[in-house]
Chains A and B, each alone.
Chain A
Amino acid sequence: MASMDALARLMRELEDQLVVCMRCGMCQSVCPVFDQTGREADVARGKLALLSGLMEQIFDDPEGVYQRLNKCLLCGSCAANCPSGVSVQEIFLKARAILTGYMGLSPAKRLILKGMLANPKLFDRLVEWGARFQKIFTRPVNDIIGTSCARVMSPLIQDRHFRTLAPVPFHRQVPSMDRPAGKSGIKVAVFTGCLIDKMFPAIAHSTIKVLDHLGVGIFLPANQGCCGIPALSSGDLPTFQKLLDHSLERFESGEFDFLVTACATCTSTIHEVWPKLADERTRDAATRLARRTMDINQFLVRETALKPLSKSAGKACTVTYHDPCHLKKSLKVFNEPRAVIKAAPGCQLTEMAESDWCCGMGGSFNLQYYDISKGIGMKKAAQIKDTGANVLATGCPACMIQISDMLSQAGASITVRHPIELLAEALDE
């Protein structure tokens, strides 16, 4: 390990961004992790103070700071509520990269990120094998939500009720597509995203169906990869860059007006993170693509003639909507998904309390800190149940996984859907 002096020099890159925090502490009112633990090191102000501390060399060892820095959902609630406008997520991602570079990735993360995620083809194959064998280890537990749990005690699964891998991932069903613009005169590129491809192919099918219905052309390149956020949040900048290169290669060649995704986290990563963390060689290309990137709901409402479908069709259902942090707080997208739900006939929208409070998923945070993640998620589940709705809609597959787990464990009979699925279903009828 290099000296703390060298680390302090690296941290100084962040100095101008770190001094913006005036320690007012307002982040305490919105941080879902702090709400559970009440510890200052778990809230943005505390973490920013720790990073300043590294810069000022007040610690003998960076391990404690590294641990606390990783105990964060990267939900961005603090940044959205920050009076001084501190770029919290950008600072945390850069700091994770610096500290990981300094301390090295854990062997498990090295295997998953560098060994699997960085090679999209290999990753796809491994997941397909997983999908074949998952039934041996798991059993269905809630038919309405579609969750399963472990057949026997498992240290990995614990008491989770999880959504299983799709038997056939989306890219096997629809490997690629290139259709010209129809009556809308618009053509979009579709970035599928890992979770939609491997767990929720129905969301991708729904996206295609709705775009077709509206006469929007589609460019869906083959062999898509991950947006890179799992690598980046683990501080693995090289893998992030490799995945970014992979995506740029696939999308740069296509002709389209917008890039859309149905995953809040992918959209926010492409839109907000790519331009800031791409290397110099790819920054311009990443920025150009980012500027054209939109959430699917946002695209439908702003760019197409989306009208409520006829009232006659559609099953009557009451829907409540959860705001994914990466849509509402990162991209200020919250009216559009609601408009999409209202456009689906028969869907009655009813609001839950604190619809924009984080669900507690946070990617690998859920694996590392399941107790806290579950504490946050169960609060969300209770607020969903209180609405009496029979459908929970949300614009992010990661939130869908977490909320499915929580609702299933709470014994609820509430289906978990993406707004685009509700709209596509109405087209069927």
Chain B
Amino acid sequence: MIADSLVRQFKTIVGDDNAWTDATDLHTYSYDAAVVDPVQPGLIARPTTIEALGKTVRLCNDNNLPLTVRGAGTNLSGGTVPLPGGVVIVTNGMKSILEINEADMYAVVQPGVVTAKLAAAVEAKGLFYPPDPGSQAVSTIGGNVAENAGGLRGLKYGVTRDYVMGMSFFDVEGNLVKSGSRTVKCATGYNLTGLMVGSEGTLGVFAEIILKLIPLPAHRKAMMAVFESLERASETVAAIIADRIVPATLEFLDNFTIRAVEDFSKAGLPKDAAAMLLIELDGHAAQVEEDAARVEALCRTMGATSVRVAQDAAERDRVWAARRAALSALAQLKPTLVLEDATVPRSRLPEMVVAIQRIAKRYDLTIGTFGHAGDGNLHPTILTDKRNHAEWERVEKAIDDIFDDALKMGGTLSGEHGTGLAKCRYLEKETSAGTILFSSRLKRALDPKNILNPGKIIAAKAYL
């Protein structure tokens, strides 16, 4: 419970309509999209100006209230699940695109801007903001930057990190910190922007973000290739890269996912196929057509049983509809869906897919796997019912094993979902005791009272 007098102070800062303490409101900010237990906060604040945002942060620090910033709450690692009785700062009161500069190709946005809305606004000017996380229709730029979100275009265009040129953010005392610049080059000060990207709200609170834009590709071509074996599919991925072609997207669906999508959408996919690749090339028209012909030929040489090249926009939509349907199709099979994102070096992909199949068998679980073959980022999707406690224990063991195998192959626990609550206890496995110590000291120096989203990235137990 936050004392009435303190609630009044929050209301003075953000306005009466933008500070909520009703039990029902609090409950609706107790979760995000991760499969972790909900935690009830004590107050929700929605600042609508930079000044109010800074003052809200300061008030939390002055009163030892843990603070969690939330965009759309689509986080898949529990990064936006608050602390008991803590404060949630909702960013959708600050959702303006402040500037789209065509001459210098950058955009300045407030943290609550929805990713897809920015992408559309930028595209209307012939420019391109490539990061496209699966939740882009609702996710916010602030959340994307805090989690270093990825998407389908990682292979060619990189991830959110590669588009953040600079930002201003509040430290825990509410001081405004500026880092980076509107220029392509900037060599002043510490690279605080780099530190803040992916920091999951544990080091500061974003006020404004400067994003790099690039020219919009003039031409796109999509195709779908079907394979009788996993190995053939992943050898094809390797062959495409070896041929020095970098598709914008190179997506993979395993047999279980193909069957689920087909049952769900009746799109005419071959249910007996072991794997499918969905490939899109973009760029200058002539180059795209030439590369597309080479990729098609490569797929056939490598033993694809069928290759369908989209001839127009409608066919291109059909190719991507299959990929977009993957999560829905899997989600409809069981009540609980655990979406993992263990990532391995691209060349180890077939090994990882086989390892996941072995784990599914070992623990008698249903796991569908799809994901971003081009960058080694797989989404093993475990289908279960959290109410079945015996099965849930096996799910947790399976997740442990998936992480172990990914790390053995030189991979990472998370390609794009973040560490959050769900993965912090594994972080030392991927890194080292020294890494946790260094991170913990950094956190303490910048946030002495441990106010800023405590327990995320650095597990509560590991925090010194």
Chain A residues in the interface with B (C-beta under 8 A): 16, 19-20, 22-26, 28-29, 38-41, 45-46, 49-50, 53, 58-60, 64-65, 67-68, 83-85
Contacts and interface: CB of A to CB of B under 8 A. Distances in A.
B92 interface: yes
A68 B24 contact: yes
Sorted nearest first, the 7 A-B pairs with minimum C-beta distance are A64-B24, A46-B28, A40-B28, A29-B137, A83-B328, A19-B335, A84-B331
A59 B138 contact: no
Contacts of A49: 27-28, 30-31, 38
B72 to A, nearest CB: 6
Given A19-B385, A25-B135, A85 B72 contact: no
Nearest to B27: A53
Contact of B90 (A38, A45, A46, A60): A38
B328 A84 contact: yes
Given A46-B28, A64-B23, 7 more contacts: A16-B335, A20-B335, A23-B33, A25-B135, A26-B137, A59-B27, A64-B22
A23 B24 contact: no
Given A38-B92, A59-B23, A64-B23, A26 B138 contact: yes
B347 interface: no
B46 A38 contact: yes
B336 interface: yes
A22 B27 contact: no
Interface string B14-32: 0000001011110111111
Contact of B32 (A23, A26, A84): A23
Contact of B72 (A28, A53, A65): A28
11 contacts: A23-B32, A24-B135, A25-B138, A26-B135, A59-B23, A60-B23, A64-B24, A68-B24, A83-B327, A84-B331, A85-B328
Contacts of A40: 25, 28-29, 73
Contacts of A28: 72, 138
Interface in B88-146: 90, 92-93, 114, 116, 135, 137-138
Q: Please indicate which of the listed interface residues A29, A58, A68 has the most CB atoms of chain B within 10 Å of its own CB.
A: A29
B332 interface: yes
Given A65-B24, A85-B328, A85-B332, A23 B137 contact: no
A49 to B, nearest CB: 6
Contact of A25 (B33, B92, B328, B386): B33
Interface in B384-418: 385-387
B248 to A, nearest CB: 23
Contacts, number: 82
Contacts of B199: none
Nearest to A24: B33
Contacts of B257: none
Contacts of B20: 39
Q: Please indicate which of the listed interface residues B24, B33, B38 has the most CB atoms of chain A within 10 Å of its own CB.
A: B24
Interface residues of B, number: 36
A59 B24 contact: yes
B23 A25 contact: no
Contact of B27 (A16, A24, A50): A50
Contacts of B22: 64
B138 A22 contact: no
A22 B383 CA distance: 11
B337 interface: yes
B177 to A, nearest CB: 27
A26 B327 CA distance: 12
B72 A25 contact: yes
A67 B32 CA distance: 23
B27 A83 contact: no
Given A26-B137, A83-B328, A58 B72 contact: no
Nearest to A63: B24
A29 B120 CA distance: 14
Nearest to B76: A24
Contacts of B327: 83
Contacts of A20: 335
B138 A29 contact: yes
B74 interface: yes
A60 B20 CA distance: 18
A16 B31 CA distance: 20
Contacts of A58: 27, 40
Nearest to B20: A39
B336 A22 contact: yes
Nearest to A39: B25
A85 B334 CA distance: 11
Given A24-B33, A38-B92, A19 B336 contact: yes
Given A84-B328, A85-B332, A19 B387 contact: yes
